[in-house]
Structure 1
Amino acid sequence: MDTAGEGPSRGRELGATDNAGPAPPSRYESQKRRDWNTFLQYLRNHKPPLVLSRCSGAHVIEFLRYLDQFGKTKVHVPRCVFHGHPSPPGPCACPLRQAWGSLDALIGRLRAAYEEAGGTPDTNPFAARAVRIYLRDVRDSQAKARGIPYEKKKRKRALGAAHGHGGGESSSPAALSGESSGSGAGGCSSEGLL
C-alpha cells in the first residue's frame, strides 16, 4: 500500500480545518450554557434574590419544582383512574411535569457548569445528597404513576467476582454503578426544557 501518496492530501485536509477557526460548541455545551444562564436568572429573580455562593441543595430542588410548570410529561396522581397504566385510553386532568430523564440530564449539566465556573466539588449544590434523593423520588413516583417498572442495572463486575470469574469483561464505571449518563434516560429529550 502506498502511504506516501496519502500524506499530502491528508495534510491539506487537516490544514483546511485548522484555518476554519474554532469549531462551534457541541449541542451539549450549548445546552449546558443555556441551562446555567437560566439557573442564574432564576437566582436573580428569586424572592429574595440569591447569590450562587449561598445556593444549597434545597434551592436546587426549589428550581426543579419551578420547572415543572413547563413540563410535558403527564404524571397521573394516585386517585386518577389511569394511575399505573402505561397507555391510558383517554384524557385526564392530571398535571404535566418535567420528565425524570430531563431533570437528571439537567442536573448533570448544571453540576458540570458549576465546577467550570470555579465552584468546588465539595460545595456543589447540584451534587447535594438532597438533590439525589429528590431525583430518585421523582423517578420512582413517575414510574409508578405511568405503570413503568424501573429496575436498577446489575453490577457485572461484582457478580463476576462473587462467582470467581476473573476478567475479560470490561464495563464503564457508569454502567457498573447503574448511573445514568445524563443524556436523557429512556430516550427523554431535555431539548426545550428551559
Structure 2
Amino acid sequence: MMSINKGKGIAEGSSIPAGVGVGVDAVGGGDKQNPPPLSRYESQKRRDWNTFGRYLRSRRPPVGFSQFNADHVLEFLGYLDQFGKTKVHLQGCVFFGQPEPQGPCTCPLRQAWGSLDSLIGRLRAAYEENGGLPETNPFASCAIRIYLREVRDSQAKARGIPCKKKKRRRRNPLKTNEVSSSFTIQQP
C-alpha cells in the first residue's frame, strides 16, 4: 500500500522512508501502531533544524551540514531579523530608552532576544541529535553566546530596562563563624 504523502517523510526529517505507507501490516493484517505525536518542543526543534538546513542550501555556494560554522549561524540569526516583530529603537530615536513609547517611529523590527535564545537552544540540541559532537557544536560557540548577550543588552537598553548582572556570592574560606556549633566534643 502506497502512502498518500510520498516523499513527505524525508522532507520533514521523519525516520519513515518515502513511499512506505503507514497502514495495513503485511504480516498481521492489522493497523501499525502510530508513534506518539511529537511534543511542541520537539516539533519546533525539527522545524528550526529544517529551516536552518534550507538556509544553508540557499547560500551561494550551498553549505553542507558538515561544513558550517559559527559564522554561518551568526549570518542566519541576522537573516531572521527581517522576520522579527519586536521594535528596537535606535540610539537617535526620540523613544530610545522608553519602556512604553507614546507614538510610532521608523525604527526596525527585530527578533526578540528571548526568541533567539530559545532558537539557539533548540538548534544546539538538534545538532547533537543529528550526529554532531558536543565539543564541535557551532551553536554552543563563544561567538554565539557573545552575540546573544549583546542582543539582550541592546534590546534592554533600547526599551529602558536596566540590565542587572547577577552578583556571585563569594564564600570566604577564612571565615570561621560558618562552622556549626550544634555539637560538643566531650573530653574523657
Q: Calculate the TM-score normalised by the size of structure 2.
A: 0.72
- Is 1:116 aligned to residue 106 of structure 2? no
- Is 1:33 the equivalent of 2:71? no
Please state if 1:148 is matched with 2:172.
no
Q: CA RMSD in A?
A: 2.0
Letter in 2 for 1:152: K
Determine whether 1:134 maps to 2:147: yes
Identity %: 69
Q: CA deviation at 1:152?
A: 2.9
Q: Which has the larger radius of gyration?
A: 2
Mapped pair 1:88 → 2:95:
no
Is residue 110 of structure 2 the alignment partner of residue 97 of structure 1? yes
Counterpart CA distance in 1 for 2:40 and 2:90 is 34
| Alignment equivalent of 1:58, drawn from 54, 57, 71 | 71
Work out the CA distance in 2 between the residues paired with 1:72 and 1:104: 15
Q: Which string of whole-angstrom CA distances, capped at 9 and with x for unpartnered residues, describes residues 40-66 of structure 1? A: 000000121101111111110000000
CA pair 86-165 structure 1, distance change in 2 beyond 3 A: farther
Deviations 1:8-61 (A, max 9, x none): xxxxxxxxxxxx854311111110000000000000001211011111111100
Q: Which amino acid aligns with 1:141?
A: S
Q: Provide the rounded CA distance (Å) in 2 between the counterparts of 1:102 and 1:80.
A: 24
Aligned length, in residue pairs: 145
Residue 154 (structure 1) shift? 4.0
Aligned counterpart for 2:90 among listed residues 64, 74, 77 = 77
State the Cα distance separating 1:93 from its structure 2 match.
Answer: 0.3
Structure 1: gaps spanning 5 or more residues? 1-19, 167-194
Whole-angstrom distance in 1 between the partners of 2:178 and 2:146? 34
Q: Of Structure 1 and Structure 2, which has the larger fraction of its residues in helix?
A: 1
Please show how residues 169-180 of structure 1 align to structure 2 within 5 Å: none
Give 3-state SS (helix, strand or coil) of 2:106's partner: coil
Match of 2:36, SS?
Answer: coil
1:44 to 36, 57, 60: 57
Query: Matched residue of 1:139: which SS?
Result: helix
**Alignment-mate amino acid for residue 43 of structure 1:** L
Q: Secondary structure at the match of 2:66?
A: helix
Look up the match of 1:23.
36
